[in-house]
Amino acid sequence: MANTILTPTAVTRKAAMILHQKLNFIGSIDRQYDDSFARKGAKIGDTLKIRMPNEYTVRTGMNMSAQNTSETSVDLTMATVKGVDMNFTSDELTLDIDDFSERIIEPAMSVLAANIEADALSMRTQVYNLYDGDAAAFSFTSASTARQILSDNLAPMSQRTLLMNTGHSTKFQIDTKGLFHDSEAIKKQYRDGIIGRTAGFENIYENTLLLPHQTGTAAKTTSYTISGAVTTNGSVAATLTGAATTFKAGDVFTVAGCYRVHPETKVSTGVLQQFVVTADCTTAMTFTPALYTSGPRQNVVAAGMANSSAVVKVGAGASETLTESLVYHKSAFAFVTADLPLPEGVDWARREVVDGISVSLVRDFQVSDRSFPCRLDVLYGYKAIRPQLAARIHNDA
């Protein structure tokens, strides 16, 4: 008989390690805020305010014009608990840790990881930068052009990731065969789905959870126009007129004449600013990013969204499926976990943290059938804190 070494620590640590290995998106985004929650003993519903970098304008000439520092923040809420519930028999508890892991922990953590990762990937619908490769197949050029979007938005050159759906991944590997070099660094930083490093990306992953986005019934040429100019700093809503079709949350659009400005010089780039719809709508549209036509946060030209300007949907037509991959800098998204309180008076109660992912295990004993009901839980929250440092890639295949 195998050695019986199923301690609470061994089981929980093994579960946390397997979960960590399978979270390739979460593993490549910002988790530096975990400690902030841990210090205050976070519980579901707790909110952390994340301060954004301050922005300023530059003067020309000798005359001083002092600027007030106006700090902004975004809220990250510890909103979700997900877990897997199991029931062990006495016989199963005689297994050694490797057999127990293969038969019970691995399948349980695989499905838990998939559900947590899918939740976190919903943040991509808050990303407004979109490379539109509609009617074309994914290629090396798709990834390179999306990387350019990151550079144009001043994303640091390091810690960039390309995350592809399985169809895009196949075409990318055909396009880039011979460019990847096996290295000890990649082996040491193994995570499920890793493909390699090239094209200016520190990590390239394949992820089966990048599901398509179904767009609204509005066509690319929407027939909608802006009803009433939108120029007020901080605006996140516009009224549309001229059609009766729909937009879905996650649809990307541009407005004629509403050009993006350089983040630092505030000079027009000649490229239309892309916006993403934040709630399903017909004529009362809400969007992100908030529109700024002046000041240190200026992101579009002074004209903003002019009255009667045409609205154009980007990436897909009416009720079309948007097949997506994603590029991003680590600081575009944040994911946090916190330690759930452990109960007293139960058979086992243990928590382990691996690379910022906290997993708790609680096991009890059922007298009636000598079974061991057990639960594994993760308390977490996530937020797109700097979505300008990410871009979606749309290609039909």
CATH number at residue 136: 3.30.2320
Residue 341 domain-assigned?
Answer: yes
pLDDT of residue 188: 44
The residue with greater pLDDT, 123 or 88, is 123
Sign of torsion over alpha carbons 197, 200, 203, 206: negative
Query: What does the angle CA 216 – CA 313 – CA 386 come to, to the nearest 5 degrees?
Result: 95
47-51 and 73-77 beta bridge pairing:
antiparallel
* Residues 119 and 31 both lie in one domain: yes
Q: Which of 163, 212, 201 is nearest to 179 (CA)?
A: 201
Domain range for 161: 124-212+322-331
Residue 66 domain-assigned?
Answer: no
Last residue of a domain, one of 317, 348, 363: 317
Arithmetic mean of pLDDT over the chain: 85
* Residues 290 and 368 both lie in one domain: no
CATH number at residue 284: 2.40.30
* Residues 205 and 255 both lie in one domain: no
* Residues 191 and 230 both lie in one domain: no
Residue 28 domain-assigned?
Answer: yes
pLDDT of residue 64: 84
* Residues 164 and 261 both lie in one domain: no
The count of domains in the chain is: 3
Last residue of a domain, one of 317, 343, 360: 317
| The token pair that represents 260 in the structure block | 């993006």
Res 106 pLDDT > 90: no
Residue 3 domain-assigned?
Answer: no
Query: Residue 124: phi, psi to the nearest 5?
Result: -65, -25
pLDDT of residue 176: 77
Cα–Cα distance, 20 to 123 (Å, whole number): 19
* Residues 26 and 91 both lie in one domain: yes
| The token pair that represents 107 in the structure block | 């399948």
Among 40-44, 60-64, 324-328, the least confident range: 40-44
pLDDT of residue 36: 64
* Residues 196 and 327 both lie in one domain: yes
Residue 187 domain-assigned?
Answer: yes
* Residues 218 and 300 both lie in one domain: yes
Residue 191 domain-assigned?
Answer: yes
Cα–Cα distance, 28 to 79 (Å, whole number): 21
* Residues 129 and 112 both lie in one domain: no
Among 211-220, 276-285, 310-319, 336-345, the least confident range: 336-345
pLDDT of residue 189: 45
pLDDT of residue 8: 66
- Region of residue 315 (phi > 0: left; psi between -120 and 50: alpha; otherwise: beta): left
Among 64-68, 131-135, 276-280, 296-300, the least confident range: 64-68
Cα–Cα distance, 311 to 318 (Å, whole number): 14
Mean pLDDT on 113-124: 92
Residue pLDDT, tens place only, 344-365: 877 788 887 776 678 888 888 8
* Residues 134 and 104 both lie in one domain: no
* Residues 296 and 269 both lie in one domain: yes
Res 93 pLDDT > 70: no
* Residues 104 and 115 both lie in one domain: yes
Quick one: the chain helix, strand, coil %, rounded to 5?
25, 35, 40
pLDDT of residue 87: 81
Structure confidence at residue 42 as a pLDDT band (50, 70, 90)? low
pLDDT of residue 238: 98
Residue pLDDT, tens place only, 216-238: 999 988 889 999 999 999 999 99
Residue 396 domain-assigned?
Answer: no
Query: What pTM was estimated for this model as a whole?
Result: 0.85
pLDDT of residue 66: 80
The fraction of the chain above a pLDDT of 70, given in percent, is: 86
Res 258 pLDDT > 50: yes
Residue pLDDT, tens place only, 159-196: 999 999 999 998 888 887 766 555 554 454 445 556 65
Residue 390 domain-assigned?
Answer: no
